[in-house]
Amino acid sequence: MRIVLGALVVACGALCQTSAPAFEVASIRPSDGKSGIDMQTFPSRLSSTCNVHQLIEAAYSMQRWQVTGGPAWLDTDLFDIEAKTSEDLSAETNRVLALGRPAPRKMMLMLQALLAERFNLKMHREIRQENVFALVVAKGGPKLQTPADTTRSFIRTGRTGSVYAAALTVVITGNNASMAQLAEYLEGNMHRPVADQTAIVGKYDFRIEYAPENSPTENAPPLVTALQDASGLKLNTAKGPVEFLVVDHADKPSAN
């Protein structure tokens, strides 16, 4: 569970890692918005088309809901970013998650420095008492299937309904996935930490179909109900300390 045990407020100087390594060359330009949203890391290069909110998530290995505050353009404006270092980071073993993908921690420290320098980003860290969740086995026991394919392990999201309108239902499909993977996946849906307390070992297949908020359909239950009906698992709620990054200031960079 991504919870920090204690109250803490940190100034931007500590957050931005002023002594951290930096990219040697970096180009930041407003994007035409046609490239989609992506970020790739290579042995000595970071290539990205995304918004600043996502760059912060990647740099600090945070969930989207953990980054708050700042001007609206942090979410709406896309930037094309190319940044390089002379170091070969392919053998870097210290890796963190950056937008769901493993990336060298040293490169993410370089991204932190880039955000501070080029976007004049100033943030502070807060611990707030919020709802947190525990994934547990519901009465009646789990309803999980033996994996049909053990060569791959993933959880993916699909949807039903027209691509031009709000989804009627969302479908979560687990293939050879652990309960720890499911708990981590659910954090993005619940916008709060989710701890795996099922005590279920091994990996399983599952399919959970639910109606998202504001869905026009009445033929599917909300996520919490669908989770219990389809998998035999449920989410218990409690109060606990949750970490947030709060953006105090950011400037749009000049094109270069």
pLDDT, greater one: 151 or 17: 151
What's the rounded mean pLDDT across residues 72-93?
Answer: 92
13 falls in which pLDDT band (50, 70, 90)? very low
Over residues 207-226, mean pLDDT = 90
Q: What is the pTM assigned to this prediction? A: 0.74
Q: Is the pLDDT higher at 66 or at 214?
A: 66
Residue 200 has pLDDT above 90, yes or no: yes
> Which secondary-structure segment (H or E) carries 243?
strand 233-249
**Mean pLDDT in residue range 6-28:** 61
- Who wins on pLDDT, 34 or 177? 177
Domain boundaries, the chain: 12-127+242-249, 142-231
36 confidence band (pLDDT: 50, 70, 90): low
Rounded average pLDDT over 65-70: 95
**C-beta pairs of 95-101 under 8 Å, 24+ apart in sequence:** 96/61, 97/61, 98/39, 98/41, 98/57, 98/58, 98/59, 98/61, 99/39, 99/50, 99/54, 99/57, 99/58, 101/39, 101/41
Average pLDDT (78-82) is 94
Whether residue 5 is predicted with pLDDT greater than 60 in this model: the reply is no
Tell me the per-residue pLDDT of 109-130, one tens digit each, with 9 for 90 and over: 999 999 999 999 999 999 999 9
Is residue 107 within 8 Å of residue 90, measured between CB atoms?
no
3 state DSSP class of 10: strand
| DSSP code per residue over 41-91 | E-SSEEEEEEEHHHHHHHHHT--GGGEEES-THHHH-EEEEEEE-SS--TT
Alpha-carbon gap, residue 66 to 71, rounded angstroms: 16
